[in-house]
């Protein structure tokens, strides 16, 4: 008997002990409470072992990256744009944390641009290394950062775009912890506009308020004493702001702004609550979202608007009641603008003599007059409208 016990004991030594599971990757912020450094971010992204693509390079040589969670072939695509303003780091931290916990095999594709302004984040500046506010460049695409995002929107055709920002104590008339706003531009399709407002009011708001935060509509200055609205300041209709550009590109979505006058942990937790709201929206409303974005992408007719918003009637001169059939670009104009047109997914046709025509009858219709008509606020160029194509 003793010999059998000894034999079994010896045999047990030959069986390897079960390997301990590798610890889950953690961001620099989770480890130290300090904002994740550039080196920590790159190490963390590698450790996650998620599909990681470089979609651009900043002026200072830093990579602009895209992280995918979920299948490439899912019908619903959600994009998170994290910290376009380099001095608003909480959104980036929330994105880095959240991508770790999402299911890797699901019927939703989640895409993250985890650091949308790497040069600005390194310098802790609002703008990029040239001092340009990237969130005012989604129409003209003068920055590498905005161009990289435009390519993502063109190639992935997202159903939802969630844009993460912060506001600081320099904005004394914002008296809430968490602010949200949908695309207000009048050229956004009704279905996309309405679902975006639903996302803000019926999903983001209850999610963040359940977490103990106060919330409200972004862009309304409120008297801190009386609580009464003072004025609207958010550039409501401006098509160059991602909140509006996303709607013009057929995506439901919103901008969120969390109060930076708090501890770093509180700020990041606020952003995570906002992400919870968008995930709930996608889970509950997938069929409606897909139907609304598909209808928006279909060829549409009707007037175009160079001003006004869903809360402000346009001036008569800002209404293009009978839009042209298209816009003719000279050969020189086309050479100047072809890269930006391609990034926006705008198609053109060759004409004799080297000119090109951009027909309005295409998926990118909501953007075309805003880019090519002399009446637009900030056209890419002033092309010739024509009644017949």
Q: pLDDT tens digit string along 218-258? A: 987 767 676 666 676 666 789 999 999 999 999 999 999 99
Task: Indicate the pTM of the whole model.
Answer: 0.92
pLDDT of residue 171: 60
Q: For position 201, what pLDDT does the model report?
A: 97
Q: Output the pLDDT for position 21.
A: 61
pLDDT tens readout for residues 334-360: 999 999 999 999 999 999 889 999 999
Is 28 contained in some domain? no
Residues 280 and 329 in one domain: no
Nearest CA to 87 out of 55, 119, 130, 56 is that of 119
Domain endpoint, select from 281, 297, 313? 297
Residue 133: give its domain's CATH number: 3.40.630.10
> Is there a single domain that holds both residue 207 and residue 109?
yes
CB 28 within 8 A of CB 44: yes
Residue 258, domain member (yes or no): yes
Residue 183 resides in a domain: yes
Mean pLDDT by 10 residues, the chain (389 residues): 43 48 89 98 98 98 98 94 98 98 93 98 98 98 98 98 89 81 96 98 98 91 68 77 97 96 96 98 98 95 95 94 97 97 97 94 98 96 95
| C-beta of residue 361 within 8 angstroms of C-beta of residue 302 | no
What is the dihedral angle through the alpha carbons of 220, 269, 72, 76, rounded to the nearest 10 degrees? Answer: -50
The pLDDT of residue 12 is: 42
Which residues are paired to 64 by β-bridges?
A: 56
* Same domain, yes or no: 259 and 167: yes
Residues 69 and 208 in one domain: yes
Please report the pLDDT score of residue 105 as a whole number: 86
Q: Which residues span the domain enclosing 363?
A: 323-386
In this structure, is residue 335 part of a structural domain?
yes
Does residue 245 lie within any of the structural domains?
A: yes
Q: Which helix (H) or strand (E) element contains residue 258? A: strand 252-259
The domain total for the chain is: 2
Active site residue 93: no
Q: Six-digit token pair at 68?
A: 């995918």
Would you state the pLDDT for residue 106? 86
Residues 364 and 249: their CA atoms lie apart, in Å, by: 7
Q: Which of 30, 41, 93, 257 is catalytic?
A: 257
């Amino acid at each position: 008997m003793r010999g059998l016990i000894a034999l079994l004991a010896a045999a047990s030594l030959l069986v390897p002990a079960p390997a301990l599971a590798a610890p889950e990757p953690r961001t620099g912020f989770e480890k130290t409470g300090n904002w994740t450094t550039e080196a920590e971010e790159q190490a963390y992204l590698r450790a996650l072992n998620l599909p990681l693509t470089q979609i651009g390079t900043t002026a200072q040589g830093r990579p602009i990256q895209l992280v995918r969670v979920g299948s490439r072939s899912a019908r619903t695509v959600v994009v998170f744009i994290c910290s376009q303003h380099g001095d608003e780091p909480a959104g980036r931290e929330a994105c880095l944390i959240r991508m770790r916990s999402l299911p890797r095999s699901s019927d939703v594709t989640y895409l993250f641009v985890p650091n949308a302004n790497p040069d600005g984040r390194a310098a802790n500046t609002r703008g990029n290394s040239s001092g340009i506010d990237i969130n005012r460049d989604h129409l003209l695409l003068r920055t590498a950062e905005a161009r990289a995002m435009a390519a993502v929107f063109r190639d992935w055709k997202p159903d939802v775009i969630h844009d993460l920002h912060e506001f600081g104590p320099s904005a004394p008339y914002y008296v809430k912890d968490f602010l949200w706003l949908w695309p207000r531009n009048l050229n956004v399709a009704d279905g996309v506009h309405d679902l975006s407002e639903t996302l803000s009011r019926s999903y983001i708001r209850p999610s963040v308020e359940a977490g103990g935060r106060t919330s409200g509509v972004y862009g309304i200055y409120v008297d801190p004493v009386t609580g009464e609205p003072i004025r609207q300041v958010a550039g409501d209709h401006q098509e160059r702001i991602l909140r509006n550009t996303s709607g013009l590109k057929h995506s439901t979505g919103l901008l969120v702004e969390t109060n930076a006058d708090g501890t770093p942990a509180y700020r990041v937790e606020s952003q995570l609550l906002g992400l919870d709201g968008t995930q709930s929206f996608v889970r509950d409303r997938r069929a409606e979202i897909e139907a609304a974005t598909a209808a928006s992408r279909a060829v549409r007719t009707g007037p175009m608007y160079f001003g006004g918003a869903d809360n402000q009637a346009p001036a008569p001169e800002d209404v293009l009641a009978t839009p042209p059939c298209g816009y003719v670009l000279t050969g020189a104009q086309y050479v100047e603008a072809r890269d930006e047109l391609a990034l926006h997914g705008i198609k053109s046709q060759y004409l004799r003599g080297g000119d090109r025509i951009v027909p309005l009858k295409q998926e990118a219709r909501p953007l075309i007059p805003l880019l090519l008509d002399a009446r637009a606020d900030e056209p890419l160029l002033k092309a010739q409208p024509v009644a017949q194509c």
